Structure 1
């Protein structure tokens, strides 16, 4: 099976022979079936010397379906480069496992690192941006039992405390088992058109325990313009 982007579909149509490295040996294979969905395509193949037909593997098809559902739509980017790190805050985090472990690029992809709650299961995360952004979707991952469950998002609510978490959120949702593994949650896009900051309230976790762990937070969307929020604040100060 080959996995390549749709841009290569025309060049790698059924019947075309290509060379691949398989089990440390170069082999010529012939593509027998093409299944395309979303951004990716699956190519089922067999050695050219084989005349046997290809049987569809149910497990592979299921895996592909799950994978394609986790693909971020075209035009949306990871907004990590637009986070104002000097203003990021997380209430009720334990010192040895801070928000940087789940939010910063490089840290959040390390399986040995995570964000962890301290006194109880709740977390309140404040993320300001250096530019005004539109939020489309979010990826929030964690362990099966200690991973987050109920999530509330607040757009442009500056420096909230736990006393404010019962205010009407911009959006709220429950994290599913698939979301914990990386499937994005699509947000109410109309509510996140001009976002300068985002507050994430983690209300509870999957197992109902006192400790919540987040392994990764990724926010996807687009920038509204090139206005730098730090420069804007400097102008307002004068």
Structure 2
């Protein structure tokens, strides 16, 4: 899936077998089927995903040197396929999507500032921001929005960003404690997630320009990501 060009990885697109594998996994989500199709997973899913991540290393550094692209089978940017079923009523063993997170270097888990790429049979999207931040992190974002409303609105409403992304995630029913319902940014203060999503067509997966497409989207979110990073005290 990748070749070398002047010493840099080049990614030419995912194979169509990626979607075929995920579609079948959604129907036969059990260990016996997976073990019988492990070679397909390696060939059509994991290897090309790692090639894509490797190809994103240099473009990401040009957007921000603090977000990491780590092409490792375990412990890198590619999220694990196995589900944690210990505390879930859903006991299916495997996720039926590919999740890739380019996490901030200061982050420890998926709740850190990050850039995310999601591939599933029914949808493909890019997401940016901080998903399910802890209480202290969420409080810091709210306080920064309240203290610097002009900077927040410039980041939130930047034209390149809003042309591609929609704000998403969970919100409170009422304003958080300490903020009135008449606050000019009350809807943003009510957010429990600070994420934004850009939907893509499936066809982009198989195109040699995928790295450029995802890079362009991440770049368009730079002001939004910079605001969130500064709000929680990390460099952008």
> What TM-score results when the alignment is normalised by the length of structure 2?
0.24
Structure in which a larger fraction of residues adopt strand = 1
Name the structure where helix makes up a greater proportion of residues: 2
TM-score, length basis structure 1: 0.24
Larger Rg: 1
